[in-house]
């Protein structure tokens, strides 16, 4: 599979502080790559560097296998579409007129306009002034503008920002369909794990400018190894008895990792034989939020 985006040591310094630090991205063809991180982590800055909108302080960007430089940038970026921050549009023009402005600038065939409007489900609203659009419609128009060239790579910065649940669901379904239907590769940023979880096939997690995880969503999920939660009548005593399993204590429960069935049976027996009544033994899976906390060691980052 072709690598669509790769960066090496990509870094950006603002005012003497590195806000993006040695980021090595790898995005392969057909992926929906979720670029995840808390506010201010460096997502937009990284995306802007990929699109030639911000000059890297250090490092290189390869798009479609070519290292981007001042000479080939325009040519390479012809195969990309982007929505960075809020979409830019003329409020006094209709949705269609806005697309026509872009069409003229970029020399885009007429049929692409219709198709882009259809994909974002704005065909019936194309004659309306954009100043009368809802936030969700404006966001969809922004995506239509990014899609109009039917680029190989689509870069979307927080595409569901500010949308209501129904709008989020619509955009999510739309994005998920793009690789299969149009052969696109999509990179989208978000600060919401649950959102990326439902859209992405691969994930990069950035925190304080550093890429702390990058792999398939499958691998991220595998990190969410199962653990066993035990609740007894005396969790103090139970923790002492089960010390060799290094239990974590949480709100009256003991949490034990990586236990075989035999070990669970043994634990149960040990507790009961020691006179500690066992109320519950449950298997649980770590949420993505907990995984993020494990990776960053930070509370409430997302």
Q: Which is nearer to ligand ATP, 49 or 116 (CB)?
A: 49
Residues 6+ positions from 250 with CB-CB distance below 8 Å: none
Percent helix / strand / coil, the chain, rounded to 5:
40, 30, 30
Q: Which is nearer to ligand ATP, 37 or 81 (CB)?
A: 37
Task: Report in angstroms how near the CB of residue 35 gets to ligand ATP at its nearest.
Answer: 9
* Cβ count within 10 A of residue 32: 25
d(CA 251, CA 247): 13
Q: Which residues pair with 36 in a beta bridge?
A: 190, 205
* 90: phi then psi, degrees, rounded to nearest 5: -100, 115
Q: Which is nearer to ligand ATP, 15 or 165 (CB)?
A: 15
Task: Report in angstroms how near the CB of residue 126 gets to ligand ATP at its nearest.
Answer: 30
Q: Which residue has the tokens 């979409």?
A: 87
Joined together, the tokens standing for residue 220 give: 């991220």
d(CA 273, CA 270): 5
Q: Which is nearer to ligand ATP, 151 or 209 (CB)?
A: 209
Task: Report in angstroms how near the CB of residue 202 gets to ligand ATP at its nearest.
Answer: 18
Joined together, the tokens standing for residue 263 give: 């070990």
- DSSP state string for 226-258: EEEEEEES-HHHHHHHTGGG--EEETTEEEEES
Joined together, the tokens standing for residue 100 give: 């026509």
Task: Report in angstroms how near the CB of residue 27 gets to ligand ATP at its nearest.
Answer: 17
Task: Report in angstroms how near the CB of residue 34 gets to ligand ATP at its nearest.
Answer: 13
Task: Report in angstroms how near the CB of residue 157 gets to ligand ATP at its nearest.
Answer: 7
Phi-psi region of 9 (alpha: psi -120 to 50; beta: other; left: phi over 0): left
Q: Which is nearer to ligand ATP, 14 or 279 (CB)?
A: 14
Task: Report in angstroms how near the CB of residue 19 gets to ligand ATP at its nearest.
Answer: 4
Q: Which is nearer to ligand ATP, 35 or 227 (CB)?
A: 35
Q: Which is nearer to ligand ATP, 44 or 185 (CB)?
A: 44
- For binding to ligand ATP (CB under 6 A), which residues are involved? 14-15, 19, 37, 39-45, 191
């Amino acid at each position: 599979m072709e690598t669509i985006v790769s960066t090496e040591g990509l870094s950006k310094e603002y005012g003497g502080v590195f806000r993006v630090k040695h980021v090595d991205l790898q995005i392969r063809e057909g992926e929906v790559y979720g670029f995840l991180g808390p506010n201010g982590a460096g997502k937009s800055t990284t995306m802007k560097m990929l699109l030639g909108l911000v000059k890297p302080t250090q490092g290189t960007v390869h798009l479609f296998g070519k290292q981007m430089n001042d000479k080939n940038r325009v040519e390479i970026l012809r195969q990309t579409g982007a929505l960075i921050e809020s979409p830019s549009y003329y409020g006094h023009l209709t949705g269609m007129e806005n697309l026509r402005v872009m069409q003229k600038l970029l020399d885009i065939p007429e049929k692409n306009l219709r198709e882009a409007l259809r994909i974002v489900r704005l065909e019936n609203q194309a004659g309306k002034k954009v100043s009368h659009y809802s936030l969700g419609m404006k966001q969809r128009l922004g995506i239509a503008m990014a899609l109009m060239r039917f680029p190989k790579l689509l870069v979307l910065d927080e595409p569901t920002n500010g949308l209501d649940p129904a709008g989020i669901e619509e955009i999510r379904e739309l994005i998920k369909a793009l690789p299969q239907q149009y052969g696109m590769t999509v990179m989208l940023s978000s600060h919401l794990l649950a959102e990326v979880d439902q859209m992405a096939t691969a994930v990069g997690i950035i925190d304080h400018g550093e890429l702390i995880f990058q792999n398939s969503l499958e691998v991220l999920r595998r990190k969410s190894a199962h653990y066993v939660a035990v609740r007894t009548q005396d969790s103090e005593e139970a923790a002492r008895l089960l010390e060799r399993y290094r239990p974590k204590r949480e709100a009256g429960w003991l949490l034990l990792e990586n236990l075989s069935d035999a070990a669970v049976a043994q634990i149960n027996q040990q507790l009961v034989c020691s006179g500690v009544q066992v109320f519950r033994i449950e298997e649980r899976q770590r949420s993505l939020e907990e995984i993020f906390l494990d990776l960053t060691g930070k509370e409430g980052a997302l």
